[in-house]
Amino acid sequence: MKYFLLCLAISLVANCCYGQTTFKRNDIYLEAGGNGLSASVNYERQLTRQPGLGLRVGLGYYPEKAFYLTAPIGVNYLFKLKKDRSFIEVGLGATLTRTEVHLFGGSKNSSGDPFVNFVPSIGYRRHTNKNVMWRISLTPIANQYGVLPWLGLSIGKRL
């Protein structure tokens, strides 16, 4: 009976270990353009054990006559492609800035209040064998002054 229980325990442990996935759920990456406007450092967490819903938060800057900090936040969803570790990424973000930061020519409100830019995105993401992620995204920036076409390029480490 002890031998049977030992074999059963070993087979259950082996089965559980075999079923584990190697999908890493955390990313830290640099982004040029995109949600951070000029450049940003971001942390992203996938909320599911497989590619799917994720949240991101970052800290960026926008140089316009001065050095302005931005705070990009957002949600995204990864749709797995047939090719291993390749995804279509769709997301919606918001970037908090000061109103002095304006991407639309002379339109500007200098009250100093926080200002929100909405940033929908769609792009291609790739995870490599070495736990590196990179992506390219179309990230138009929308606010009360209009919509500006924008691109984002990201590279980072999967943790």
H-assigned helices in 22-139: none
| The total number of residues written for the chain in this structure | 159
Average pLDDT for 52-72 = 88
Adjacent-strand bridge partners of 98 = 114
Residue 144 phi, psi (nearest 5):
-65, -15
Q: Does any domain span residue 50?
A: yes
- 20 pLDDT higher than 60: no
Q: Does any domain span residue 61?
A: yes
Q: Does any domain span residue 2?
A: no
Domain of 144: which CATH number? Answer: 2.40.160.20
Q: Does any domain span residue 128?
A: yes
Q: Does any domain span residue 146?
A: yes
Q: Does any domain span residue 29?
A: yes
Give me the number of domains the chain comprises: 1
Average pLDDT for 43-59 = 93
pLDDT tens by residue, 120-137 = 999 999 999 899 999 999
**Which residue range is the domain that position 53 belongs to?**
23-158
Number of neighbouring beta carbons within 10 Å of residue 67: 9
Reported as a pLDDT band with limits 50, 70 and 90, residue 7 is: low
Q: Does any domain span residue 72?
A: yes
Q: Does any domain span residue 15?
A: no
